[in-house]
Amino acid sequence: MDFDAARHNMVESQLRPNNVTEPRLIETMGRLPREKFVPIARRAIAYCDECVEVAPADGEGGGPRYLMEPMTFGRLVQLSAVTKSDLVLDIGCATGYSAAVLGHLADAVVAVEEIESMAEEAGNLLTELGVDNAAVLVGRLSEGNAQQGPYDVIILEGSVQQVPDGLFAQLKEGGRLVAVVEEAGVGQTKLYQKSGNTISERTGLGANAKPLPGFEAAREEFVF
């Protein structure tokens, strides 16, 4: 398969027509080999316009895990307005594609992955591709990684029902958090920004993404 052509088509048919046009982001996604982050059996669909499964459910609460579809990922990164001086927290990096892209856009990336074997794979791929400003750490996704923060940007690599307050606490003053948030079963890109003790919220475009484990809304309990 001609992955170079598939990558070019992804940019021209999925990103640009959907207003993902930030030059550095387009250049990076048009160059980075997304297929390397996808299991061999699925590499033919690495550049398709849907989420790609990279790990099945393990029966113990882990997985299945996915790479977000290119358009949704591109919209989130563009919404976050990552700059070359930013420290970024990438939550749920899976096999590391998102961390690799962000590594080309930011000063440094801290990527968190819950599945230890996947975190190891992501780290190896980042090393192979020479992305030396991104580190993959094992931890609970919903907890982020306060130790390495605070962060200029936090990106959640999947849809969530709610964003824990603990993640907002890991933002720097003026820091941004972006995510696909489910509202009444419909996903919306959201940009949150920290100003003092206040978190502002702006809703972007609709988006589809597979759920990120650990971000389910608390169930209401009824007492009769």
pLDDT of 214: 84
Output the CA–CA distances (angstroms, integers) from residue 37 to 62, 139, 219, in the order listed. 18, 20, 35
- Per-residue pLDDT of 47-90, as tens digits, reads 999 999 998 876 555 668 899 999 999 999 999 999 999 999 99
pLDDT of 220: 45
Q: Which domains does the chain have, with CATH numbers?
A: 3-206 (3.40.50.150)
Output the CA–CA distances (angstroms, integers) from residue 221 to 182, 193, 218, in the order listed. 21, 31, 9
In angstroms, rounded to a whole number, what is the distance separating the alpha carbons of residues 84 and 25?
12
Low-confidence residues of the chain: pLDDT under 70: 58-63, 217-224
Q: What is the pTM of this model?
A: 0.93
pLDDT of 218: 55
Q: Which two structure tokens, joined as six digits, stand for 177?
A: 């958090």
Which residue's entry shows tokens 């990336």? 109
In angstroms, rounded to a whole number, what is the distance separating the alpha carbons of residues 149 and 161?
24
Instruction: List the beta bridge partners of residue 192.
Output: 177, 201
